[in-house]
Amino acid sequence: MIKEIEIVRPDDWHLHLRDKDLLPFTVNETAKSFARAIIMPNLVPPITRLIDAENYKHRIMKALKPNLSFIPLMTLYLTEETDPEEVKQGYKSGQISAVKLYPAGATTNSQSGVRNYEKIKPVLEIMAEVGCPLCIHGEVTDSNIDIFDREKVFIDTVLDKIRTDNPALKVIMEHITTKEAVDYIFAENENLAATVTTHHLSLNRNDLLSGGIRPHFYCLPVVKREVHRLALLKAAISGSPKFFLGTDSAPHLDHDKESSCGCAGCFTAPNTLEILAHIFEEQKALNKLELFTSISGAKFYGKNINTDKIRIVKKDEPTLFPKKINTPSGEITIFSPNFETKWQVQV
Ligand SMILES: [Zn+2]
């Protein structure tokens, strides 16, 4: 039985670090094991300009412990007012690594997102021209569409059109949750990829809703039926360069999640690699973990593959993680799936 693996240091291709007094906690939890991360721009107000991205990056680096190294890859929040020239300049200079599209109202702090897709056409054209990837939260927000169907409807009515209009645009469908998304991405060309989260590989909707509602399993897109989780699992362990890890680690204070209208998001940064090692081992696919966490994302983004490595070791006893972290603003619960892992990252 394999007791230890060594993999290229991973990157997280979808991460929420939040801001202000949460940064020292969120940044260092990720930097412990990850070399780089795509930093989501949905702050309040959102990161819509290069100057905002620069300032946010500065705050992130200030929060980083001096003994850790970490590169935040910044993104801009796409609005109907985004200036194509600013995107071009930001991507070419390396200030940003991607642009994020939120359909207006789809998730946390997405009110400034896109309503009229005609208005973002010029930006998408420039992005295709310079090779800047578009990260998409792939759900429609029409209240008439059932929440469990919103991803599938988005693929059919929005995503496919964006890609047909801009065949050269690199698109990442973020945090996919359905078999339909997996099938679509497998079937399409190499300009389309997807991130998969740790929690969507760990949970189905019974975990969220059966026997009581579990606010710390609530995220968007919401977790789906088991058949969908199995499709995500198959994609993650396939070794396909089109599927890679984006944790979507999204901490919220416990009092905001354990509420009559709780926030969406799971805080998975602290134990993602331990959970993934367990899942991949169960699938007899530990040899595919490195592709998923450390290689395929970097290649899709056109970035160098990290040169250092990390070790993940299997112990005899389950690994115990803290249940929460304490921040000046309150406690944040660390994601804990309904299974144990014996794997542990060696730091
Ligand atoms: Zn997210």
Superfamily designation of domain 4-346: Metal-dependent hydrolases (3.20.20.140)
Residue 73, pLDDT score: 98
Q: C-alpha 282: how far from its chain's center?
A: 23
Write down the H helix ranges in the chain: 23-31, 50-63, 84-93, 121-130, 150-154, 160-165, 179-187, 198-202, 205-209, 226-236, 254-257, 272-282, 289-290, 296-301
pLDDT in tens, 184-197: 999 999 999 999 99
Q: How confident is the model at residue 112 (pLDDT cuts 50, 70, 90)?
A: confident
- Domain residues of the chain, as ranges? 4-346
pLDDT in tens, 254-311: 999 999 999 999 999 999 999 999 999 999 999 999 999 999 999 999 999 999 999 9
- Cα-to-centroid distance, 110 and ligand 1 (Å): 10
Residue 108, pLDDT score: 74
| Active site annotation includes 248 | yes
Please give the model's pTM, rounded to 2 decimal places.
Answer: 0.97
Name the CA radius of gyration of the chain, rounded: 19
CA atoms of 136 and 126, how far apart (whole Å):
17
- Cα-to-centroid distance, 93 and ligand 1 (Å): 25
pLDDT at 241 over 80: yes
Catalytic residue among 11, 21, 248, 254: 248
Q: How confident is the model at residue 347 (pLDDT cuts 50, 70, 90)?
A: confident
Among candidate residues 205, 232, 174, the one with its CA nearest the CA of residue 15: 174
- Cα-to-centroid distance, 113 and ligand 1 (Å): 13
- Cα-to-centroid distance, 139 and ligand 1 (Å): 12
- Cα-to-centroid distance, 107 and ligand 1 (Å): 8
- Cα-to-centroid distance, 15 and ligand 1 (Å): 6
Q: What is the mean pLDDT of residues 6-26?
A: 97
pLDDT in tens, 223-237: 999 999 999 999 999
